[in-house]
């Protein structure tokens, strides 16, 4: 059977669970689903339970599409692949013995090329006054390839049909037969339409599909979304299964009551370290630890560089056995003190972090260590320090696992006290008592700096393999620190967690601004922790944009930001003339913290009243555009993080206001802003172009058309009027058409060739990992774990957005986590409707780079989540 992507719409299925099963089945077999209550010409199949007087069914008939029963999808899922459609094609009984297939005749004619649609050749003057019904009949006629005109029709057009409701005498003077709108059904189904009992005149087909929206309690919805976010953030993320088999200590039958280590002491005094280690290894049991000074002597001997590879291998095995039999997270506090005393430099004895820092620096061939070590780096000693790092990482992972899973034990009779993160080795190593409230402690800063150095060295000398898995070990260590700190503070202060992650991102952006994007991208790819990957990828991507002249805001990361800001930024990176590794432009304060002077200067440049919103939801940018205060507009647009598409409570953007009030200079300033404002946004069918023409501002209308082209002329308002319908003279129409043609010509001549493929590939990889990690970390609507509760929440969330504006739903909300989740849902819905495909630059669509193609695939996956949400409508 031929291979193509099936695109489905569903009509007449009211039960949401049945609809959800169908949508999941469609996606499981590689198909696509388009939601909404109106027919979309891109669909190939319409699913209906029986013949309906719905717009989707009638339009699919006219277009010659497949119209099948729900069993087509369900049986195909059972089959594991798409079945032939014919047995499932919708049919009705007309009172005779044979069934009537209402769609088949038109489908076969279109499939064989005899017709392009049921209304091919029709030139229809549509005389229906009610805007919604007129728009519906226009979609039906255009689905069957008719050309539809308003009154008066163009002079050069010879009308073949006049369709009206109601029919009046003066309609017969247009030189063409006059029909009622019911003629559409009669033409499609002939005499069978009587048996089908259609009543298209009195019933709005689209209305038959709607079940009626139940009012949503916005305050309750905020609480539900907040609780959902808290549940997601508080879940146990890391799952280190290897710790499940660790022995619980303090089982008397496993303990040696008395062990003599004097033999090991004698061997150490005689310099027989291998023999001493063998003696110690044989006497390790749960709850029994060898004297720490003996192990310190063994570690000091290993650190001097004279030990054999066999000795170092035995030492590695012993250390892991010690951790396995006596894990500090399942033992009294004296065991943690034992490990703290053991895991420090044998000579300097300044704590665990200096010990780790020395091991890392030795692996990096650095001369800056707590005391001189044998050099140049010896292969055996190099492996020893890497093993030490891996061992400490394992210990920290065990502590994090126990804290996350709540596995600390409290057995009073054995002297084991209940332990928490506050008493862990992890916290004591990386945070002093004065640093508990910040993620970016001195030790974390040093670790991040060493990680960058390791990434640079690893990329430059990746063929030498001198430091096995050093970068991965450091990334895992940083991941453990981030997860630990966030879990410790999340329940008490979510804002503190967000600030800590932002501080880490800004610090990383500062120390990595001179590093090649290729190195940084490879670093991000190797991060396994979704939370850390989000922080690092976002910092690197914003740094890339800033250093190549494209400013992006520093507002919290969201799906909207990635779609509306980061995607256009990628197009800019593709056309950048700078080298991928160039670092000649200083990092902007919008991406990183540049000190008090920068912040003070930025504060002085903030216009007065910037953050004040009036009762209509209008920002200062809205108000400045209404008053044509172009200096204020330019000031606001120069600030990092300005949302040029911000909406008031009614949904109007600043561009709408500027066009409505004739603020020509403000429109020009908005159009020069990057990213460019959305030009085709509509409120009640009114776009910025309609706004300008309704109020007689031809100069603004031409500016909009010169920017976007004739695509704006295809938009209709709530009354079905295009922009050309709003001007009264031929000369004005010609001016608008000329402006659109100028833009169309310019757009056709735009070079879509990628001028900087390495930079585009780096940015695409970062954005792909950002979107994927964001989706995984936030568990977006449309991707929530299936349960009755989450489906109910998704349903209420989608219906709230469908019946009310985003601004109205969130009015009075105080929890920004809930606001961002609702905003994510709104963006997903628009992606599902393909409304934001224009945000994808042409350079990305045409690029055949591996990372860019991966990004496009991930965008399709996210779009599919939006299609799932549309199924709730």
Residue 841 or 23, more confident? 23
- High-pLDDT (> 90) share of the chain, %: 17
Tens digits of residue pLDDT in 653-665: 899 999 999 999 9
pLDDT of residue 655: 93
231 or 3, greater pLDDT = 231
| Beta strand pairing call for 92-93 and 99-100 | antiparallel
Assign 332 to helix, strand or coil: coil
Confidence of residue 237 (pLDDT cuts 50, 70, 90): low
Most confident of 241-250, 329-338, 559-568: 559-568
- Residue 640: the pLDDT is 75
DSSP secondary structure, 578-603, as one string: S-TT---SPPPTTTS---HHHHHHHH
Helix axis angle for 850-870 and 16-28, nearest 10°, is 160
Residue 23 CB burial class (10 angstroms; 0-12, 13-18, ≥19): buried
Statement: residue 214 has pLDDT above 50: no
Of residues 376 and 73, which shows the higher confidence score?
73
**How would you label 388-415 residue by residue, b for 16+ Cβ within 10 Å and e otherwise?**
bbbbbbbbbbbbbbbbbeebbbeeeeee
pLDDT category at 207 given cuts 50, 70, 90 is: very low
What pLDDT shows up at residue 873? Answer: 60
Q: Residue 243's pLDDT is what?
A: 59
CB atoms within 10 A of CB 33: 25
**How many whole angstroms from its chain centre is CA 105?**
44
Provide the greatest CA pair distance for the chain: 120
User: H or E stretch including 165?
Assistant: strand 161-165
- The reported pLDDT for the residue numbered 211 is 36
Please report the pLDDT score of residue 15 as a whole number.
81
pLDDT digits (tens, 9 = 90+) for 671-713: 888 767 878 778 877 889 999 999 899 999 999 998 888 778 8
Q: Is the pLDDT of residue 410 over 50?
A: no
- The pLDDT, as a whole number, for residue 64 is 92
Three-state helix/strand/coil letters over 700-767: HHHHHHHHHCHHHHHCCCCCCCCHHHHCCCHHHHHHHHHHHHHHHHHHHHCCCCCCCHHHHHHHHHHH
CA distance 539 to 512: 9
Structure-model confidence comparison of residues 582 and 17, the more confident one: 17
- Ranges 372-381, 604-613, 620-629, most confident: 620-629
Three-state DSSP class for 302? helix
Query: How sure is the predictor about 254, in pLDDT bands with cuts at 50, 70 and 90?
Result: very low
Round to whole Å and give the CA distance between 116 and 64: 8
Using CA atoms, how far residue 807 sits from 217, 307, 456, 647, 812, in Å, is: 15, 69, 46, 7, 9
| CA atoms of 766 and 841, how far apart (whole Å) | 16
Q: Report percent pLDDT > 70 for the chain.
A: 79
**Quick one: DSSP state of residue 215?**
P
Q: What are phi and psi of 124, to 5 degrees?
A: -105, 130
C-alpha 288/C-alpha 402 separation (Å) is 21
Residue 250: what pLDDT? 46
Q: What is the per-residue pLDDT across 456-482, written as a single tens digit (0 to 9) for each?
A: 888 877 655 545 588 999 999 999 999
Contact 609, 768 (CB under 8 A): no
User: What stretches of 28-100 adopt beta strand conformation (E)?
Assistant: 32-33, 45-47, 66-68, 92-93, 99-100
Q: 224-228, 321-325, 412-416, 429-433: which range is least confident on average?
A: 412-416
Give the pLDDT confidence score for residue 244 in this predicted structure. Answer: 52
Tokens of 397: 């992972």
The string of pLDDT tens digits covering residues 109-156 is 888 888 889 999 898 888 887 777 788 888 899 999 999 887 777 777
Better-predicted residue by pLDDT, 640 or 453: 453
For the cut 70, the answer to whether the pLDDT of residue 766 exceeds it is yes
pTM: 0.62
Average model confidence (pLDDT) across the chain: 79
Q: Is residue 341's pLDDT more than 80?
A: yes
pLDDT of residue 749: 56
* pLDDT tier, 62 (very low <50, low <70, confident <90, very high otherwise): very high
- Domains annotated on the chain, with CATH: 7-111 (3.40.50.10190), 123-209 (3.40.50.10190), 241-426 (no CATH), 522-589+753-870 (no CATH), 619-749 (1.25.40.20)
For 168-182, write each residue's pLDDT tens digit. 555 555 667 888 888
pLDDT at site 466 = 46
Per the DSSP assignment, residues forming a β-bridge with 351 are: none
Q: How far apart are the first and last CA of the chain?
A: 33
Q: By CB neighbour count within 10 A (0-12 exposed, 13-18 middle, 19+ buried), where does 788 fall?
A: exposed
Cβ partners under 8 Å of residue 536, min gap 6: 505, 508, 523, 524, 527
Nearest of 604, 661, 678 to residue 638 by alpha carbon? 604
Query: Would you say 519 and 758 are in contact if contact means Cβ atoms under 8 Å apart?
Result: no
Distance CA 157, CA 149 (A): 9
Residue whose token pair is 């001369």: 367
Sequence length of the chain is 873
Q: How many CB atoms lie within 10 A of CB 76?
A: 22
pLDDT in tens, 589-611: 333 334 444 444 445 567 777 77
């Amino acid at each position: 059977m031929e291979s193509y992507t099936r695109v489905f719409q569903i009509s007449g299925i009211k039960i949401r669970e049945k609809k959800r099963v169908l949508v999941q089945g469609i996606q499981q077999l590689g198909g696509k689903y388009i939601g909404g209550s109106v027919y979309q010409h891109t669909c190939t199949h319409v699913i209906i339970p029986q013949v309906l007087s719905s717009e989707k069914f009638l339009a699919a008939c006219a277009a010659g599409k497949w119209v099948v029963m729900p069993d087509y999808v369900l049986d195909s899922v059972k089959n594991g692949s798409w079945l032939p459609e014919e047995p499932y094609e919708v049919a009705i009984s007309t009172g005779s013995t044979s069934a009537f297939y209402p769609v088949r005749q038109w489908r076969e004619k279109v499939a064989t090329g005899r017709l392009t649609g049921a209304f091919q050749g029709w030139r229809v003057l549509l005389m229906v006054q009610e805007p919604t019904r007129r728009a519906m009949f226009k979609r039906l006629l255009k689905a069957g390839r008719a050309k539809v005109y308003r009154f008066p029709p163009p002079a050069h057009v010879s009308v073949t049909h006049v369709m009206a409701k109601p029919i009046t005498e003066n309609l017969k003077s247009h030189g063409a037969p006059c029909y009622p709108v019911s003629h559409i059904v009669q033409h499609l189904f002939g005499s069978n339409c009587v048996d089908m009992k259609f009543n298209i005149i009195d019933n709005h087909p689209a209305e038959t599909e709607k079940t009626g929206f139940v009012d949503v309690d916005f305050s309750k919805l905020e609480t539900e979304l907040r609780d959902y976010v808290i549940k997601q953030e508080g879940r146990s993320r890391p799952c280190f299964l290897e710790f499940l088999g660790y022995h619980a200590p303090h089982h008397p039958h496993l303990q040696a009551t008395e062990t003599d280590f004097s033999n090991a002491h004698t061997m150490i005094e005689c310099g027989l370290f291998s023999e001493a280690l063998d003696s110690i290894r044989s006497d390790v049991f749960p709850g029994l630890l060898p004297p720490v000074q003996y192990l310190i002597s063994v570690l000091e001997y290993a650190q001097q560089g004279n030990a054999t590879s066999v000795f170092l291998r035995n030492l590695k095995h012993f250390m892991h056995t010690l951790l396995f039999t006596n894990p500090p997270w399942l033992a009294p506090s004296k065991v943690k003190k034992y490990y703290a005393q053991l895991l420090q430099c044998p000579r300097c004895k300044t704590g665990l972090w200096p010990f780790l820092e020395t091991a890392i620096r030795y692996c990096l061939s650095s001369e800056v260590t707590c005391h001189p070590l044998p050099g140049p780096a010896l292969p055996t000693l190099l492996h020893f320090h890497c093993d030490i790092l891996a061992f400490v990482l394992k210990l920290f992972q065990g502590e994090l696992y126990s804290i996350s899973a709540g596995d600390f034990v409290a057995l009073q009779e054995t002297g084991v006290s209940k332990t928490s993160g506050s008493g862990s080795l992890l916290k004591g190593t990386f945070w002093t008592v004065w640093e508990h409230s910040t993620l970016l402690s001195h030790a974390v800063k040093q670790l991040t700096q060493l990680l960058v150095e390791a990434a640079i060295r690893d990329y430059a000398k990746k063929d030498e393999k001198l430091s096995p898995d050093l970068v991965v070990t450091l990334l895992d260590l940083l991941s453990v620190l981030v997860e630990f700190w966030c879990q410790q503070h999340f329940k008490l202060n979510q804002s503190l967690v967000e600030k800590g992650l932002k501080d880490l991102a800004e610090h990383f952006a500062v120390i990595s601004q001179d590093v090649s994007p290729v190195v940084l991208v490879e670093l991000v790819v190797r991060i396994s922790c979704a939370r850390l990957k989000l922080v690092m990828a976002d910092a690197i991507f914003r740094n890339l944009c800033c250093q190549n002249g494209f400013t992006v805001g520093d507002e919290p990361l969201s799906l909207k930001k990635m779609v509306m800001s980061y995607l256009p930024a990628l197009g800019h990176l593709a056309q950048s003339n700078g080298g991928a590794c160039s670092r000649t432009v200083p990092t902007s304060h919008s991406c990183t913290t540049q000190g008090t002077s920068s912040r003070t200067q930025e504060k002085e440049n903030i216009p007065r009243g910037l953050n004040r919103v009036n009762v209509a939801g209008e920002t200062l940018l809205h108000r400045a555009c209404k008053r044509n205060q172009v200096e204020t507009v330019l000031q606001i647009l120069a600030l990092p993080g300005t949302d040029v598409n911000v909406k008031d409570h009614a949904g109007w953007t600043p561009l709408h206001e500027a066009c409505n009030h004739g603020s020509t200079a403000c429109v020009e300033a908005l159009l020069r802003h990057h990213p460019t404002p959305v030009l085709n946004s509509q409120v009640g069918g009114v776009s910025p172009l309609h706004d300008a023409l309704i109020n007689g501002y031809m100069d603004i209308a031409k500016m909009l058309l010169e920017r976007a082209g004739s695509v704006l002329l295809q938009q209709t308002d709530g009354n079905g009027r295009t922009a050309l319908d709003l001007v009264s003279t031929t000369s004005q129409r010609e001016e608008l058409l000329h402006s659109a043609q100028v833009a169309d010509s310019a757009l056709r001549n735009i070079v879509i060739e990628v001028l900087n493929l390495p930079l585009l590939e780096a940015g695409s990889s970062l954005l792909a990992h950002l979107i994927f990690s964001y989706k995984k970390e936030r568990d977006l609507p449309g991707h929530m774990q299936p349960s009755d509760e989450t489906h109910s929440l998704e349903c209420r969330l989608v219906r709230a957005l469908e019946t009310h504006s985003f601004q109205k739903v969130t009015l009075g909300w105080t929890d920004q986590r809930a606001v961002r989740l609702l905003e994510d849902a709104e963006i997903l819905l628009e992606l599902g409707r393909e409304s934001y495909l224009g945000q994808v630059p042409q350079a990305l669509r045409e690029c055949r780079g591996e990372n860019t193609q991966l990004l496009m695939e991930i965008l399709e996956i996210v779009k599919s989540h939006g299609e799932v949400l549309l199924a709730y409508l």
